Amino acid sequence: MISGETIEQAGYEIMKRAAIDIPGDYLSGIRDAARKEAEPLSGFVLKTMVKNYETATEDRRPMCADTGLPRYYVKVGDEARFSGGFTGIEHALRSATARATRDVPLRPNRVHPLWRTEYNNNVGINAPEIEWSFEPSAGWLDITTVHKGGLFGTDYRMLFPGDGIDGIRRFLLDTLVAFGKRGLCCQPAIVGVGIGGSKDTCMQLGKQAACLRIVGDRNPDPKIAELELELMEAGNGIGMGPMGFVGSSMVVDLHIEVGFTHTGGMPVSVHTFCLSSRRATARILADGRITYRTDPQWFTPYYRRETVDWPMDGLEAVS
């Protein structure tokens, strides 16, 4: 039985780790970009970023003072047993958020959207968000936190099947150029592209693609994997680097996630996970032990399942 205290402790620890330690996959992505960047201004920015991550880890201070909007993704194994029920998990994560806000410290960014009132602890109505998913034949509980920054860099558009891949490419360029000017979205970023679903699932998939997959990860559908690389190249071919300076470092990696959609439409969303790509995951095992990592492993084969039964029933899709 996993206790509420263990969940709170794990939530608190990943809040700290996310705010301070840049994930290794993203750091090597930035180092790579710095090596390839030929433009002096853009190169200077990238080198400064690397120095900043090192300083954060050495001094144990947040890498960016805008500690974003902390949120959680929880994956519950079918066999996991925990005291206090699901609302107990929610309570533990709200408590962890408030504690970490005071101790790290994180900036209390969350305010009421109309009255601008707050409790100075990043907790409020519908905040922090907690998204749930489930995993068959597992006894653990995975908790991931993402501190997603940015007022900028996210957009949605209803495209149509006739717009094709070119339409997606064009919309991606629109979003990256618009928010890349002056570096408003704090590129180079991990870019997430959601395709399909309804508007809300489209947004959700794109955001999860940006925040919950690591640099170098490819979609298991080989044609989508190819499109990921093609669109990443298009982003880096804009001629824009960090801060909107001339350069070639815009996209550190690009991830696509899809959901079945209305037969008449092809909604697309684009999300950029900024220079402070903060994520950390805890796995709580059935005996209460906790292990930590930076790869959320959110997109499991089960999560991307296509047909009614699991394991998949071998039905072939028709067109």
Partner 1 sequence: MLEEHHVDLPADPESVSRLKPGSVVYLNGIVYTARERVYDFILNRGGELPAGLADVSNVNFHCSPAAAARDDGSFHIGGVTATASFRFSRYMADWLDRSGARILIGKGGMPADDYRNILAPRGTVYLTTVGYGTGALLGRGVRGVETVYWLREFGIAQAMWLFRVRDFGPFLVDSDLEGNSLFAEQGELVNRNLDRIYRGLRKPTLLRYGETDDRTDELI
- Would strands 266-273 and 189-196 be described as parallel, antiparallel, or unpaired? antiparallel
Determine, following the binding rule CB under 6 A, whether residue 14 of this chain makes contact with ligand SF4: no
Residue recorded with tokens 């939530």 = 11
Three-class DSSP category at 256: strand
Binding partner at 307 among partner 1, ligand SF4, none, C-beta below 5 to 8 Å by kind: none
Max CA separation in the chain (angstroms): 56
Tell me if 241 contacts ligand SF4 by CB under 6 A: no
Check binding of 24 to partner 1 (CB under 8 A): no
User: Closest separation between CB of residue 118 and ligand SF4, Å?
Assistant: 18
Question: Cβ(254)–Cβ(232) under 8 Å?
Answer: yes
Radius of gyration of the chain (CA): 20
DSSP symbol at 248: S
Q: State residue 291 phi and psi, 5-degree precision.
A: -120, 150
Q: Which is nearer to partner 1, 9 or 67 (CB)?
A: 67
Interaction pattern, residues 245-284, with ligand SF4; x per rule: CB under 6 A: -----------------------------xxx--------
Residue 239 binding partner 1, by CB under 8 A: yes
Q: Smallest distance, Å, CB 150 to ligand SF4? A: 4
C-alpha closest to that of 304 among 227, 175, 234, 209: 209
For residue 248, give both structure tokens.
């070639």
Q: Which does 68 bind (CB under 5 to 8 A by kind): ligand SF4, partner 1, none?
A: ligand SF4
Give Cα 19 to chain centroid, integer Å.
Answer: 14
Q: Which residue lies nearer to ligand SF4 by CB, 23 or 68?
A: 68
Q: How far is the CB of 162 from partner 1 (least distance, A)?
A: 6
**Under rule CB under 6 A, which residues in 72-131 are in contact with ligand SF4?**
none
124 binds partner 1 (CB under 8 A): no
Give CA separation, 62 vs 39, 57, 66, 153, 311, in Å: 28, 8, 9, 22, 42
β-bridge mates for residue 146, sequence order: 71, 279
Query: What does the binding site for ligand SF4 look like in residue numbers (CB under 6 A)?
Result: 64, 66, 68, 149-150, 186, 274-276
Query: What does the binding site for partner 1 look like in residue numbers (CB under 8 A)?
Result: 40-41, 44-46, 48-49, 51-53, 55-56, 59, 61-67, 102-109, 118, 120, 149, 151, 157-160, 162-163, 166-167, 169-171, 173, 177-179, 181-184, 186, 234, 237-240, 242-246, 274-276
